[in-house]
Structure 1
């Protein structure tokens, strides 16, 4: 075999290896581009909205799920996320914290404030306050002593010699009685005129010192704070008349007597040129717990305090154009243990009824007794917050000084334990719920009404012995005729003027009763 033939055979032997090598390269390129095209086609089909889910391609079930994404949040991020998820609770907490902070800061500043009345260069007292309240009241004593300690000359309105003796027994030279008869307008006017002349006359603190003029700073009106608690049906008309005279009419006449002095703008001569005229302030103190919720069996206090509040609002509107500020103090419960003797433990629920219920007629006890005893044992019986001592008098003294000094300008100041809370309850809580919480329950059995017996009844006070016996026989016949439904006591609604004079209240006695 020649060399040329051998070379040809060798070339033929290398052809299969080259074909195999080229085919592998081509296959790799084809697989690469086919896979890329398949991915693009699958993505295009999955992104198409008009194809149904059954036609769309899915990943092989053997494909592992994507690993979870772990996010590491800081404490600040977690707190911020909690606030975002509890917005309402966060708002309540922020408002409560802001209010508590405000009250704490205000209380701290108030306790650190120095409260002293202005004095003359020689140390003499210059400012006068008048307290129109009974010297027997603990609030009058407390305010008189405290205002005198702060540097005021205090005048306490007295309507009798006994009141003047009580003021003098305080033993303070700058607490003086101010005798005035409110019931006699001419006499009251003369007393006010003498007091005005006294203010316009210079006075020396000690003999030989430079005399100074006094300035009236405020008139404090303190009505009586004690009221009767009883059902309306058992209160005699005379008691209502006395109550309105002593608790309502007397304070109104007192303010009326002082109005000419308040509006005269008494100014010392050295301040008349280029100075502001003196504008005294009026402070009216009224209890607020009972008048805020108007509970049962407290008609006297609720009526009088509501009337005084309305009177104070009208007085404020009339004196505001005259630049005479009027402030009403709606009082809660205070601790007067230093001014009143200790009392026995209050009535506990489950014991015998209060002593005053034993004096009621049987029909009144049957109708109102149970609810009256339950209400008397509630947390706010007699206007007190039972089980709590009350707010400190220092808080009241500081607030009164701030109003007199001009630091406090509010028309209404609620102060004392329970004043703000019961004011909120009275405005927003239903009356029925308040009564239920005080133990008031429905009474299904009421006293029977005997109209015919009542028409033939003649009060024993106006009947002779013979007429009384005839009336008793007539009443007995009526009781037999009506089946005795009237009972031993009844509701006496007078139909003649002589009955109104004979019966002290709307509850009457049976003429057959031994007490009659």
Structure 2
């Protein structure tokens, strides 16, 4: 088993164990509180009757004090009732909390099931919202997200180096609204010209079908999707060509595009920027390219937000996501559908509720918070079993 998958298996096992123990503890507490109330009630009633009988007998035997009917009875009853009310209140709060969580989960599932999540269109039904994806269409994650956005009614542009494999996908008639934006790995002036042409395309009049009024397109979002499959091994064993290609594609190219007109384009159309990155809170040994890319992309979102505070930019940390090919695996992650929902919700999220950091996938938030405190020697010894110590 791959070491990363094995790590996720262990984390998932203990998280499920903690969840089951918490549920058992709640049920145990609820059962004990109910039993306590049932046991206390007869005892309280008996004590009240005994106290009243003793009080009445002492009053009848006393000649120096005049008995006032109902005085002691009301005092004792009010005291005992306060105790019962406290127990009942605690029990009610516990039960209410439990069913509130269940109700929220049910409503969330209902919303996800019945909310169709469709892109906004013109009155005549034509598409007007454009999403630009910076990534390789040969990357499965990029391809799945592009296809889902196209199905939901967006016009999707994906950056391409005009390779034969890319052109084969873009000529697929099944996805006519997934188009390519040709860029270069090393010709930065060409990239700037392409950004300007893309701006001109968006601002031009479009006639979606014969007889329709011309309209202009709107760039609603820019999504940066890096590679999610990286070579593993010690740094000196990674080939120079593979290292250079990964750095250019995942680091240099996005920075170059933002620097050569993409930031201005986002400001012009008031678009938002979503940067996807794998979760690597603790630096995993023998994953140099993955660690470097993830850290640079996280810092890129933070620094862009510092320089452009009005930009809606977020770093979406990706945990374990289920592809079709790994559904039968031991470790179960979130479905791809939840990732699609998350991206769509971020595209149309209210700027007032915008967050710089979001999470999706099993283990994403947990590893982001607690991954950094895992002892380095423990991680190193674990991965040394797979890669050796030389």
* Length-normalised TM-score, structure 1: 0.53
Quote the residue 1:328 is aligned against.
315
Instruction: Give the conservation status (yes or no) of the 8 Å contact 1:130–1:218.
Output: yes
User: Which of 401, 422, 430 is matched with 2:367 structurally?
Assistant: 422
| Matching of residue 280 in structure 1 with residue 283 in structure 2 | no
Give the whole-Å Cα distance in 2 for the aligned partners of 1:203 and 1:158.
23
Paired with 2:245 and 2:175, the residues of 1 have a C-alpha distance of 33
Measured at CA, do residues 102 and 228 of structure 1 come closer, stay the same or move farther in structure 2, by a change above 3 Å?
same
Deviations 1:248-273 (A, max 9, x none): 2122223333223223x1xxxxxxxx
Q: Secondary structure at the match of 2:281?
A: helix
Equivalent position SS for 2:143: helix
**Structure number with bigger Rg:** 1
1:147 corresponds to: 149
Which residue among 224, 228, 236 is the counterpart of 1:225?
A: 228
Separation in 2, partners of 1:404, 1:319: 18
Find 1:260's aligned residue among 233, 258, 264: 264
With over 3 angstroms needed to count, the CA separation of the structure-2 counterparts of 1:145 and 1:95, relative to structure 1, is: same
Task: Give the C-alpha shift of residue 401 in structure 1.
Answer: 1.0
In the alignment, the residues of structure 1 paired with residue 204 and residue 231 of structure 2 have an alpha-carbon distance, to the nearest angstrom, of: 45
- Out of 133, 149, 154, the residue aligned to residue 131 of structure 1 is 133
Q: What is the correspondence of 1:358-397 to structure 2 with a 5 Å cutoff?
A: 387-397=330-340
| Alpha-carbon contact 2:159-2:183 (below 8 Å) kept | yes
User: 1:174 aligns to what?
Assistant: 177
In structure 2, the residue matched to 1:80 is 87
Contact (CA 8 Å) 1:329, 1:414: kept in 2 or not?
A: yes
What is the aligned partner in structure 1 of residue 286 from structure 2?
297
Report the Cα offset of residue 299 of structure 1: 2.0
Offset of residue 97 of structure 1:
8.0
Of structures 1 and 2, the one with the larger relative CO (CA 8 A, separation 6+) is 2
Instruction: Indicate if the aligned counterparts of 2:234 and 2:286 stay in contact, CA closer than 8 A.
Output: yes
Verify: 1:312 aligned to 2:319, yes or no: no
Query: What do residues 358-392 of structure 1 show as CA deviations (whole Å, max 9, x unaligned)?
Result: xxxxxxxxxxxxxxxxxxxxxxxxxxxx6224211
- CA–CA separation in structure 1 for the residues paired with 2:183 and 2:123: 33
Question: How much does 1:113 deviate?
Answer: 2.6
**2:69 corresponds to:** none
Q: Distance in 2 between matches of 1:439 and 1:94?
A: 46
Report the counterpart of residue 109 of structure 1 in structure 2. 111
- Alignment match, 2:376: 431
Contact 2:191–2:257 under 8 Å retained in 1: no
Deviation of 1:327 (Å): 1.3
The structure where helix makes up a greater share of residues is 2
Q: Deviations over 1:149-178 (max 9, x none)?
A: 111111111112321322222622211122
In the aligned structure 1, how far is the partner of 2:197 from the partner of 2:248? 26
Residues in 1 aligned to 2:278 and 2:196: alpha-carbon distance in whole angstroms: 32
Q: Tell me how far apart the structure 1 counterparts of residues 221 and 234 of structure 2 sit (CA, whole Å).
A: 38
- Cα 1:81–1:97 change in 2 (3 A) is closer
2:116 & 2:263 partners in 1: Cα distance?
Answer: 31
Higher mean C-alpha displacement, 416-425 vs 328-337: 416-425
C-alpha deviation, 1:233, in angstroms: 4.1
C-alpha separation in 1, matches of 2:290 and 2:200: 38
- Partner Cα separation in structure 2 for residue 285 and residue 439 of structure 1: 26
1: CA distance, partners of 2:170 / 2:203? 24
Which residue in 2 is equivalent to 1:195? 198
Deviation at 1:332, TM superposition (A): 1.3
Match of 2:343 in 1: 400
CA-atom RMSD in angstroms: 3.6
Gaps of 5+ in 1: 1-72, 85-89, 266-277, 346-385, 448-516
Give 1:240 shift: 3.4
The secondary structure found in structure 2 opposite 1:293 is coil
Distance 2:285 2:128 in 1: 48
CA distance in 1, matches of 2:176, 2:88: 68
Further displaced range: 427-436 or 408-417: 427-436
Q: 1:168/1:336 Cα in 2 relative to 1: closer, same or farther (>3 Å)?
A: farther
Give the drift of 1:210. 1.0
